[in-house]
Amino acid sequence: MSVIDSARAPVKLLQPYTPGKPVEELERELGISNAIKLASNENPLGCCDSARKAIDQASQNIELYPDANAYYLKQKLAAKLGIQSDQITVGNGSNDVLDLLARTFLEKGTEAIYSEFAFLVYALVVQACGAAARVAKAMPPDHAQPYGHDLTAMLALINEQTRMIFIANPNNPTGTWLSRTELKDFIDRVPSHIPIVVDEAYFEYVEESDYPDALQWLDDYPNLIVTRTFSKIYGLAGLRVGYAISSTAVCDLLNRVRQPFNASTVAQAAAIASLDGEDFVQASRVNNTRGLKQLGDYFSSKNLRYIPSVANFLTVHFGQRSDEIYQSLLRQGIIVRPVANYNMSEFLRITIGTEQQHQVLLEKLELLL
């Protein structure tokens, strides 16, 4: 018997999360420079100037432990979102918060529900806790929200063992979304003892008039938990800051599980400063809307099907040439994201970049297609 045999069975069966290929790795492998990464849904505009200044200032004190309670960040978030600071749980990215939620509510003998093509981290945290996954069939390819959440199918999976439901709105890797009425009706029908996690990582990018802000329902549903992040539109992916908003009772539970000092001094300072960068957020949103149209128009002109998206990426159907095109783009210094690990092997997910980055991408694609 080895030390590996002593590990918990669910952990031994886990398949690690595969991130988008780093720019540095590709440039090192190919001996190139100026590679373009359109793989991990990062903000191509970077972060706001005030965040950069805050990072410089905060780095002067990195010999000290960070504020374990993230007091000033929670105060700033609470004021911006119109909630109480004791409803906020800060994490090392929203992935950390999703892990906290799973470890708080899930164990062997319990079940969690999520959609077929939902964010892969849900499956990882559920399995790591020894809980069983109940995966709802997604919407069909010809639906208005192809491969998106089928809430009726998710409701049908609820049973006595259900202890958590994950919903990504909008969803990654599909970019699909749920309307205010759809999501509200679903929450109404879920038993009140089951936590419902609404993952709004791409919330700030969405411009649809009927897209819901789930925070507005927190007072009515004590089992509702909303997660958000500074990694996307705020451009702080490298610093890892995410958070959950919930009832104070749920927040208290999460903070019992949360590791101390899980958000660094620099990360907290940058996040606080980012909340004042509304001009930057708006510029990022404008760039994203323009980029979605630019790529969408191109793929439509090539009769390539893509999933309609309200997030900062498009997932495009390249059929059996998907891996060939991915590898060819890599060799030309362009990183996009295969989604075969989502059982979508004929698709590639492309992050919205700048207009100039798109021009380079489309020139290369034109030759390949």
Please name each of the domains of the chain with its CATH number: 3-46+278-368 (3.90.1150.10), 66-274 (3.40.640.10)
pLDDT value at residue 5:
65
Structure tokens at 35: 């590679």
Place of tokens 């290369």: 364
| CA 37/CA 357 separation, integer angstroms | 9
pLDDT value at residue 340:
94
pLDDT value at residue 17:
67
Question: Of all residues in the chain, what percent carry a pLDDT higher than 90?
Answer: 90
| CA 138/CA 149 separation, integer angstroms | 5
| CA 336/CA 361 separation, integer angstroms | 10
CA distances from 22 to 39, 55, 222, 353, 358 (A): 9, 22, 40, 16, 18
Q: What is the mean pLDDT of residues 141-164?
A: 97
Secondary structure element (H or E) that encloses residue 283, with its range: helix 278-301
Beta strands 162-168 and 132-136, pairing class: unpaired
CA triple 238-259-68, angle to 5 deg: 80
pLDDT at 90 over 90: yes
Q: How confident is the model at residue 2 (pLDDT cuts 50, 70, 90)?
A: confident
Instruction: Report pLDDT digits (tens) over 30-47.
Output: 788 888 999 999 999 999
Structure tokens at 1: 């018997």
Residues 6+ apart with CB under 8 A from 128: 10, 11, 14, 99, 102
Structure tokens at 290: 């323009």
Cross-strand bridge partners of residue 321: none
Q: How confident is the model at residue 14 (pLDDT cuts 50, 70, 90)?
A: low
| CA 239/CA 79 separation, integer angstroms | 22
**What number of other Cβ atoms are within 10 A of residue 275's Cβ?**
19
Question: Of all residues in the chain, what percent carry a pLDDT higher than 70?
Answer: 97
pLDDT at 298 over 90: yes
Structure tokens at 151: 């809430």
**Under 8 Å between Cβ of 263 and 92:** yes
pLDDT at 6 over 70: no
| CA 225/CA 169 separation, integer angstroms | 13
Q: Find the length of the chain.
A: 369
Place of tokens 């008039």: 209
| CA 75/CA 98 separation, integer angstroms | 22
